[in-house]
Amino acid sequence: DIQLTQSPSFLSASVGDRVTFTCRASQGISSFLAWYQQKPGKAPRLLIYAASTLQSGVPSRFSGSGSGTQFTLTISSLQPEDFATYYCQQVNTYPNTFGQGTQLEIK
Amino acid sequence: EVQLVESEGGLIQPGGSLRLSCAASGFSVSGHSMSWVRQAPGKGLEWVSVILYSGDTTYYTDSVKGRFTLSRDISKNTLYLQMNSLRAEDTAVYYCARVLVIGNFYYGMDVWGQGTTVTVSS
């Protein structure tokens, strides 16, 4: 199975900050990577697919990049509603594994 | 409105069985690949299974192979996850989700149900 490692596991930041999360795959997955946001008690929400394509309705402050084994999710200017946990998922090979998540907290 | 609604989960004894259902509205499950994802208490997301849009191909994560079966009823526009030989480690919130497909490629899950809690305990 393909392993995804997210870093950092926890991040404290302030409203207005620019933050970047990293997701590293144990083997190449081309651009078959998705990013999700999850708030407590809620279902995940698709933010980015194909590594860099913004899902409809997602604010443009979210962006994704990368291919192969290294990927990043960037939030250009944090808003209060962005504090949540973020997961990457590879959709290149079954099982479609998730990273362990990055919890973004308010500083 | 595009929506997925899971059936109620429950408390099941180890070794028991449970069938979860996921009713779709606003789109047809026959035209989409569909997945289940679970989340153990306080843990991250775990992909469980997918049924491809053709309806004749399924994939499972290793830990549920031979115990879980994913199927669909097109007439009811509903997805099912039959879970047998349940273990304590199957305790989780279970989400059904629609797979985003563009052309011949799969890109993640764009519509999610609200989740249903399954607890396996004696």
User: Block means of pLDDT (10 residues each) for chain A, length 107 residues?
Assistant: 97 97 97 97 98 97 98 97 97 96 95
* B97 Cβ contact list (under 8 Å, min separation 6): A43, B4, B34, B35, B36, B37, B109, B110, B111, B112, B113
Average pLDDT, integer, range B58-74: 97
Cβ neighbours of A94 in B, within 8 Å = 50, 59
- Report pLDDT for B50: 97
- Report pLDDT for B106: 86
Cβ neighbours of A45 in B, within 8 Å = 112
Search chain B and give the residue with CA nearest A46. Answer: B110
- pLDDT 10s digits, B67-94: 999 999 999 999 999 999 999 999 999 9
Average pLDDT, integer, range B55-73: 96
- Report pLDDT for A34: 98
Asked whether the predicted pLDDT for residue B120 surpasses 90, the reply is yes
Asked whether the predicted pLDDT for residue B105 surpasses 90, the reply is no
CB-nearest to B115 from A34, A43, A94 is A43
Q: What span, in angstroms and rounded, lies between the C-alpha atoms of B54 and A13?
A: 45
- pLDDT 10s digits, B10-34: 999 999 999 999 999 999 999 899 9
What is the share, in percent, of chain B residues with pLDDT greater than 90?
91
Measured in whole angstroms, the distance separating CA A11 from the mean position of its chain's CA atoms is 13
- Report pLDDT for B104: 81
Search chain B and give the residue with CA nearest A92. Answer: B106
- Report pLDDT for B15: 98
> CB of A102 within 8 Å of any CB in chain B?
no
Structure tokens that stand for A54 in this block: 């913004």
- Report pLDDT for B103: 85
Distance from the B108 Cα atom to the nearest Cα atom in chain A, whole angstroms: 6
What amino acid occupies position A26?
S
Residue of A69, A90, A80 whose CA lies nearest to A17: A80
- Report pLDDT for B16: 98
- Average pLDDT for chain B: 96
Mutate to test the interface with B, among A23, A29, A46 (most CBs of B within 10 A): A46
- Report pLDDT for B23: 98
- Report pLDDT for A102: 98
- Report pLDDT for B96: 98
> CB of B53 within 8 Å of any CB in chain A?
no
CA distances A70 to A6, A92, A97, B14, B72, Å, are 10, 14, 15, 40, 36
- Least confident piece of the model among A16-30, B28-42, B96-110: B96-110
User: How many CB pairs lie under 8 A apart between chains A and B?
Assistant: 63
Q: Are A37 and A47 in contact (CB under 8 A)?
A: yes
